Structure 1
């Protein structure tokens, strides 16, 4: 399981709990996220791929069903493209191929500072402040690096997705920060891929509809075994 940007593994707990009864579930937190200390320098998705491969090697897993959310879904797509032997199936939740996919609508990760903040608590920031070994004050450093990542990467050619041979489920919200037509493009570019647009949800769909998302992921992964 591959978490999103400025997320910890707590964000995927519902999906993990749904898979545990029938699957061995492995997960780790990338540098600067959750319980993992930050690194010097900028973030990039290829580093995320390398970290994922290192995790798989460390626990002796040759191939796995990959469930990725947001940044984790982008890493999953890159794994399926460049290391197909390691990916049995891929569930890509709210992925994007390039920065133009963002809607930049109010309340999204790329909102302008002039827009009013959401009234609901920032759960991921609360997790960060509780879990990070770098301390609560380091959150702004991580967010700055993530914003630079999100506005410059990834750069995946849709035509390249035709090389993905593993079963793929592309999932997104109907009010996602990723435009619905972009999610459709991803699914249409991968041979045999399934597409699921979850109604009445935003980019935070895994928290807004945890039971539904968990059931969809579990059914897809089980069918792909």
Structure 2
């Protein structure tokens, strides 16, 4: 546990080298990044953490927002003595990363935005509206996870048993997210709006989208990349919302090459 400007936050750090700072998405604790903590620690000092309201980091009483979570992230960086880092975020974590780069640009060496968006559309709001209903109405936590994971993993992962493994791991996790925290995090992400501000991001940026991602389709990632000066946009063929978990070697190799290029400039 780390005292980050008065908020007690859970953080995990592995490896030595240039700092990499990983920001998880809706509901996910630091363990969502385990394949990156393990797979990149031979070249980087990798830090992952629990956002406010997820895992072991408490949910406070004040209204939750993406800017607040971005400020939490920079407070954690400072508490850990990290002046700047390669920042990578997925889904909700990617929008926190956008705000972090906008609000605290000196803390960000580069950006990797996986499964990202800058402005929710009608489809997105309908989808997240169903997620709110699903958390409250699902007959069990297992049923909720099985339904939710339809939105984020490939048919391949459902067929080969990977999703079943993730369900069991989530059910066994000793720090589950409360329904209240799920609703409040999701409401914060639904209000995210940076499309008209992204041009202010000046750090090297790589935007990645899964080809068959139905939660944040590639059109969202392309719109983000088009607004950030000199950002690169790439589609990962055959992948869905969370390729960093499904094909971690592919993801790790791509971001490593990007960070090596940035550090070599």
TM-score between both structures, scaled by the size of structure 2: 0.72
User: 1:58: how far off?
Assistant: 0.5
Task: Measure the CA separation in 2 of the matches of 1:53 and 1:219.
Answer: 25
The DSSP-based 3-state class of the residue aligned with 1:27 is strand
Q: Decide which of 76, 86, 92 is 2:107's aligned counterpart.
A: 86
5 Å matches for 1:127-166? Answer: 127=170, 130-132=173-175, 136=176, 139-151=178-190, 153-156=191-194, 158-166=195-203
- Provide the aligned length of Structure 1 versus Structure 2: 217
Task: Measure the CA separation in 1 of the matches of 2:168 and 2:185.
Answer: 14
The corresponding residue for 1:123 is: 166
Task: Measure the CA separation in 1 of the matches of 2:58 and 2:259.
Answer: 31
Asked whether the equivalents of residues 102 and 178 of structure 1 are also in contact (C-alpha less than 8 Å), the reply is: no
Residues 1:209 and 2:247 aligned together: yes
The corresponding residue for 2:218 is: 180
User: 1:43: how far off?
Assistant: 2.3
- Alpha carbon RMSD of aligned pairs, Å? 2.7
- 1:103/1:64 Cα in 2 relative to 1: closer, same or farther (>3 Å)? same
- 1:125/1:140 Cα in 2 relative to 1: closer, same or farther (>3 Å)? farther
- 1:200/1:104 Cα in 2 relative to 1: closer, same or farther (>3 Å)? farther
Residues 1:192 and 2:230 aligned together: yes
The corresponding residue for 1:59 is: 80
Q: Comparing both chains, which one has the higher relative contact order based on Cα–Cα distances under 8 Å and sequence gaps of 6 or more? A: 1
TM-score between both structures, scaled by the size of structure 1: 0.84
Asked whether the equivalents of residues 92 and 169 of structure 1 are also in contact (C-alpha less than 8 Å), the reply is: yes
Asked whether the equivalents of residues 113 and 205 of structure 2 are also in contact (C-alpha less than 8 Å), the reply is: yes
Task: Measure the CA separation in 2 of the matches of 1:101 and 1:80.
Answer: 26
User: 1:111: how far off?
Assistant: 4.1
The corresponding residue for 1:168 is: 205
Asked whether the equivalents of residues 111 and 205 of structure 2 are also in contact (C-alpha less than 8 Å), the reply is: yes
User: 1:180: how far off?
Assistant: 1.6
The DSSP-based 3-state class of the residue aligned with 2:173 is helix
The DSSP-based 3-state class of the residue aligned with 1:22 is coil
The gaps in structure 2 that reach 5 residues or longer are: 1-21, 139-145, 151-157
- 1:70/1:125 Cα in 2 relative to 1: closer, same or farther (>3 Å)? farther
Q: Decide which of 40, 60, 70 is 2:61's aligned counterpart.
A: 40
Task: Measure the CA separation in 1 of the matches of 2:231 and 2:122.
Answer: 19
Asked whether the equivalents of residues 101 and 182 of structure 1 are also in contact (C-alpha less than 8 Å), the reply is: no
The corresponding residue for 1:2 is: 23
